[in-house]
Structure 1
Amino acid sequence: MNTSSIDILEQVVCVSLDVRIWSGRRMLKKEDLMVQGTLPPSDLVSLGSKKIIDPSELSVFNAMKKRMERACLEYGTRFLGGYAVPLERFNELSAELNDAVNEATMKKQDLLNRYDSLIDSWCAKHPTYEAIIRKATVPSPVVDERINFNWMSFRVNPVTNDEEAEKRLDTQVKGLGQKLMDEISKEAEIIYGRSFKDKQEVTQKIIAPIRRLQKKMVSLSFVDNRIKPLSKEIDDVLDALPKTGKLKGMEFFALRGLMELLSDDERIRAFSSDDAKATDDSEDVITEEVTTESVVADEVTSGDEIEEADIEEDVLPMPTPQKPKTQPLKGWVF
């Protein structure tokens, strides 16, 4: 297995969520369709199933599941059906997941305590279909088994003496960088759509989610060498902003430009590759002066080339703007 892949595995903990949520539904039967010559209302039946409890009573469990998934993505990146979390941030994530599990367990117990009365209330809301509802109900112990919130953590090591298994794992590890890039782009796109699109100013509250995104990038920078220059760009832009008051004018456009960069995977690749190439060129010049020998830099690639077919006609990735030494505001301004 590739040495760099082994190094990456040594720096991460894998986290897997074990969450099951009871749907509160039973299969819709032919005899359920017409009662006293009328069709059941839409809040009682839908898509081949009938609801035996008010769906709003179960929505909290979907919210808890999403909360746990968001926490995993805040600290880590998707990997092997779960999440790869950097060792240095595992304890933080562990605390959040444990809190979520404890809260979900209490909410489940509350549901079980009220289960019979909830069925009664649902029947009272649909008296015409009470017989159908009661016939479809399941005992509370069944509900108890079908709602579960848990999680586990483990380390991954390659299987020895199995070259094919090592290759498959190596491929997954090498894909971590692109998965991280994709997650960054998706999150930045959400932030841009909510806070920047069709607007001319934002408040200081926008800094927090961007900082969280950057913190994730910094802690996972070891999975891909394209991450560090991108993280530094975020740092440069945010550090140049005022700490109080609304962000508007050039400050707003610099921040909006940054989010447009982060939400575009092709621009991210171009930016990171250009930055890495510029760094290598700078190092070559220094080596030339010291050794007086001509050094030719190898071409720097990101491992994911930008294909011409993916670029619209006459639309090219925006070049990295030059930053003067005395420039008061850093970032991408559009």
Structure 2
Amino acid sequence: MSWLVTGGAGYIGSHVVRALSAAGMTPVVLDDLSSGHPSFVPEDVALVEGSILDRELVERTLRDYAVEGVIHVAGFKYAGVSVERPLHTYEQNVEGTRVILEAMQAAAVTNIVFSSSAAVFGTPDVDLVVEDTAKRPASPYGESKLIGEWLLRDQGIATAGTDIALRHTSLRYFNVVGSADLTVYDVSPHNLFPIVFEALLAGNTPRIFGDDYNTPDGTNVRDYVHVGDIAAAHVVAAQRLAAGEPIEPAYNLGSGDGLSVKQIMDAMVRVTGIEFTPTVAPRRPGDPDRIVATGELAARDLDWQMRYTVDEMVESGWNARRNAG
């Protein structure tokens, strides 16, 4: 039996693949390689190239590899860009999730871990987000992830009491950074860490998006969580589903503490040894002032821990990016 990782050739998905293998589970990757890289997939892991929108391909992959569960990481993940491309965002994230659930039902695969997002909360009116904090997405991306959670919930209700009853959980994560493997790094042109790394490697001054947020230093505040910790939580969630153990419908993989973009910039200077003062570009649409969440529920059930300091997160990402050449 194996676990299918959609988007498993991407930055986060490939870390999940490695964590599954390390836990003695057998990962299979489905990725259209629109943003993933074949080199991110270990040589001993099967890679099926194709889209999650291809219903026939998804079902065939589930059957061919005797899949017992899906970790659904694939999707269009850029909140700011989703404001400009809402239809594409909904196609990839909503229709893609629906197709996966339909294929799972046809192939009698009953376990799914869904990669959701802190974006489902929008701009919270509380200092510390918990699982049942009001959902007010501020972007089509956040809306699409919330709809994904609804799809899992509704399919779980529809199949309850049958021999194909869906067992599911959604893991909401925040700003995922760093690297747990020198051969894998964040390649997104929209995420803070790679934006800064690329600027520094090119000898340019990094820029940040907005310094007029309603925060103490004017830059937005987020949970920054290490990709290795994120991957480990996915594995424990998959194990609980496969074992039939109780599991919550959703978990926030938060740190309980927030870091501002300015604080991240200060860590970049400390770790890289490159002195700079970032230039300021306009804020990106759909970016809220602050999102910080407790991870207490995930700590209870998924062995969720923040195992890295901010400097260690920066250092691991910086080393992986420089290793890539």
- Specify the structure having the higher radius of gyration (Cα): 1
State TM-score, norm by structure 2.
Answer: 0.23
Which structure: greater strand fraction? 2
The TM-score normalised by the length of structure 1 is 0.23
Write 1 or 2 for the structure with the bigger share of helix. Answer: 1
